[in-house]
């Protein structure tokens, strides 16, 4: 009897271990592809206020609300071209940025780490009492843009805020969690 039990356990343990390796290490690598960003950008490099040309630059120069309260979204080419009409540095990525986007008057197709599915409604102005880092990675102290991972099945970003994370805060703050609030 006891001998039979031992034989049964070994394949189970091996299969279980294999499943863990697959689930934790291999499956995420298959599911997500690292698309990166179309061009480099350094937050710390641009928010270095000791440099003369950058002294007045602040978050709101690139991430601002329009007069109607809507959020401007990802930075426009104009907000970069103001300074980068010609290359300012010898950095190759900046020279490519100027020749491929600024000179061709082509908007940069930035990827939004927090980009939500189309059926989710989100507005920044309703959440402007919170720090950006409540929902986003800390960009203020990042000297490069983090890798952008796309879910190969859905096409969405890996790093979006999940429904339960939105709902957890709404519950804490006594705000509605009715489906139609977020799904229009
Ligand atoms: C000169 C323009 C510029 C300034 C100034 C700037 N950013 Fe950004 N920011 C960018 C660009 C470019 C991206 C990459 C595109 C994107 O992810 O939306 C980005 C991305 C972000 C994102 C990620 C949004 C997402 O989900 O993709 C956050 C959060 C952010 N910035 C916060 C800040 C904060 C906080 C400040 C001020 C401390 C700041 N930024 C100042 C240009 C700027
Ligand atoms: C207020 C002027 C100003 C604006 C606006 C600005 N830049 Fe810059 N940028 C600079 C300066 C100055 C440097 C050189 C900084 C240094 O010497 O480290 C620089 C450096 C760079 C570099 C090369 C070094 C690095 O940080 O990787 C890239 C790429 C770049 N900028 C992209 C952008 C993009 C994209 C935008 C718009 C989202 C933008 N910049 C907006 C002034 C600006
Ligand atoms: C309560 C959570 C929350 C807070 C706080 C928040 N964001 Fe966002 N942010 C989001 C979500 C969710 C998205 C994706 C919106 C979408 O795809 O419709 C987003 C998208 C963005 C984008 C990409 C452009 C866009 O509109 O899709 C930028 C840039 C950004 N946020 C910057 C900021 C900055 C800067 C702050 C602080 C001033 C901030 N966010 C505060 C949740 C938040
Ligand atoms: C850190 C807390 C917090 C998080 C995280 C958060 N919310 Fe909210 N949200 C609030 C609060 C508080 C209000 C009520 C604001 C008010 O009434 O002025 C609100 C209001 C809203 C509203 C109604 C206001 C409007 O513009 O119609 C929507 C929609 C909404 N949130 C969607 C979302 C979604 C989607 C997410 C996740 C991607 C999210 N929220 C994450 C705190 C949060
Ligand atoms: C506070 C905002 C919020 C509320 C309230 C909310 N949702 Fe969502 N929902 C989201 C966000 C954000 C996503 C996308 C992120 C994700 O998939 O977790 C989502 C995704 C979904 C999805 C797709 C799930 C998937 O993984 O593909 C379904 C289905 C859904 N919601 C149904 C509902 C129903 C039913 C209700 C009401 C009982 C509800 N939601 C209430 C924010 C919300």
pLDDT, tens digit (0-9, with 9 covering 90-100), for 26-57: 777 788 999 999 999 999 999 988 888 888 89
Testing ligand 2's pocket by substitution, the residue of 43, 44, 46 carrying the most ligand atoms inside 8 A of its CB is 46
Q: Which residues have C-beta atoms less than 6 Å from ligand 1?
A: 41, 43, 46-47, 57, 59, 61-63, 74-75, 79, 110, 112-114, 132, 136, 139-140, 145
Pick the residue with more confidence: 139 or 56? 139
Tokens of 99: 């020749």
Flag the least confident range among 10-14, 87-91, 117-121, 140-144.
Answer: 10-14
Alpha carbon distance 110, 154 (integer Å)? 18
Ligand closest to CA 154 = 5
Q: How far is CA 73 from the centre of its chain?
A: 12
Q: Is the pLDDT of residue 4 over 60?
A: no
Separation of CA 62 and ligand 4 centre (Å)? 23
pLDDT at residue 150, as a whole number:
95
Separation of CA 76 and ligand 1 centre (Å)? 11
> Is there an atom of ligand 4 within 6 Å of 133 CB?
no
Whether residue 138 contacts residue 146, with contact meaning beta carbons closer than 8 Å, is answered with no
pLDDT at residue 145, as a whole number:
97
> Is there an atom of ligand 3 within 6 Å of 138 CB?
no
Alpha carbon distance 47, 43 (integer Å)? 6
Alpha carbon distance 142, 144 (integer Å)? 6
Per-residue pLDDT of 90-134, as tens digits, reads 999 999 999 999 999 999 999 999 999 999 999 999 999 999 999
Residue nearest to atom 32 of ligand 2 (CA): 41
pLDDT at residue 13, as a whole number:
85
């Amino acid at each position: 009897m006891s001998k039979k039990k031992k034989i049964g356990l070994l394949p189970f343990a091996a299969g279980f271990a294999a499943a863990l390796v697959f689930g934790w290490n291999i499956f995420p690598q298959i599911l997500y592809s690292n698309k990166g960003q179309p061009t480099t950008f350094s937050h710390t490099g641009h928010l270095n206020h000791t440099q003369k040309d950058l002294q007045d630059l602040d978050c709101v120069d690139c991430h601002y609300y329009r007069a109607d309260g809507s959020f401007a979204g990802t930075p426009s080419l104009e907000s970069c071209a103001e300074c980068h009409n010609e290359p300012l540095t010898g950095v190759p990525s900046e020279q490519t940025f100027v020749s491929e986007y600024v000179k061709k008057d082509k908007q940069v197709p930035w990827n939004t780490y927090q980009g939500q599915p189309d059926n989710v409604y989100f507005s920044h102005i309703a959440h402007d009492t919170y720090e950006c880092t409540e929902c986003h990675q800390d960009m203020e102290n990042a000297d490069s843009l983090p890798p952008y991972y796309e879910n190969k099945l859905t096409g969405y970003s890996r790093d979006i805020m999940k429904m339960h994370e939105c709902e957890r805060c709404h519950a804490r703050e006594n705000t509605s969690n009715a489906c139609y609030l977020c799904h229009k």
